[in-house]
Structure 1
Amino acid sequence: MKLYTIGFTKKSAAKFFGLLREAEVTTLVDVRLNNVSQLSGFAKRDDLKYFLSEICDVQYAHRIDLAPTKSMLDDYKKRGASWASYEERFLELMKNRRVESTVPQELLNNAVLLCSEDGAGNCHRRLVAEYMAQQWGDVSIEHLT
């Protein structure tokens, strides 16, 4: 199984959709807690669904069960919790939600996980991809940058 990740910040629409086309992904799985923010530009849910279909022939899915809780995100972004603490809490959340059993493997096969962060280093999309790879085995991960 091949699983990709991508963030939309610091990317033009041309770069973003070009990366998706080049990777030949079939589905974009939005793992953001808030996918309708005005700050999302071309990655706002309804616009993104349209662009994905028209530009890349890619399906769109939103999986809130692969997003952090609001309090967890606020602790990290607004209250200065460390990345290590956030990562530990997020992985425990994935374990408690049993996402490896509730998210269909076929949904993530040749899919890309979307979040806002430019890089995957300190982003939960990387944690989701690595968690699924650990649980399912035989999953290769590529971060599109």
Structure 2
Amino acid sequence: MTRIDISTIGFTKTSAENFFERLLKAGVRKVIDVRLHNTSQLAGFAKAEDLAYFLKKVGGIDYMHQPLLAPTYDILNAFKKQKGDWNVYQRRFLSLMAERDIESRLKPDLLSGACLLCSEDKPHHCHRRLVCEYLNDKWDGRLVVKHL
């Protein structure tokens, strides 16, 4: 069984310099955007088209948006806007991942050298961590995850 190195990162509460330096230092080759909405003006340097440009220009890093790994609007809204309970969010999101059968629809090699991106600055209450944990469980612990 081949081990797969994968990172995760959030773009809020950091500067563009710090964000891109962390990606470069970690040797990231591809950023996989797992946000439901990746075109918000509030995203600053992490707005989809701008981010793809900066990643390629700064470090030759590829960019792809993967909505399959994003929560639904209802799940996200219940947690963020309605100040929902993290445990409820986590349960609903993990059920969504199972329903979507992401472990069969994605190939492990897609994640090799990749970094999952979302907005949360820390992985503790973030779906990018849940995606990694879910896939690691389904793929027999193949993922070596580093939260940047």
Whether the 8 Å contact between 1:5 and 1:126 is mirrored in structure 2 is: yes
Deviation larger for 14-23 or 96-105: 96-105
Q: Which among 59, 62, 75 is matched to residue 62 of structure 2?
A: 59
User: How much does 1:71 deviate?
Assistant: 0.6
CA distance in 2, matches of 1:83, 1:5: 19
CA distance in 2, matches of 1:40, 1:111: 20
Whether the 8 Å contact between 1:52 and 1:58 is mirrored in structure 2 is: yes
1:138 matched to which residue of 2? 142
Deviation larger for 81-90 or 130-139: 130-139
Give the AA of the match of 1:33: L
Give the AA of the match of 1:41: G
Unpaired segments ≥5 residues, structure 2: none
The RMSD of aligned alpha carbons is 0.7
Alpha-carbon deviations, 1:76-101, whole Å to 9, x = none? Answer: 01112200000000000000100011
2:19 matched to 1:37? no
- 1:1-145 matches, within 5 Å, as 1-136=4-139, 137-144=141-148
TM-score (norm 2): 0.95
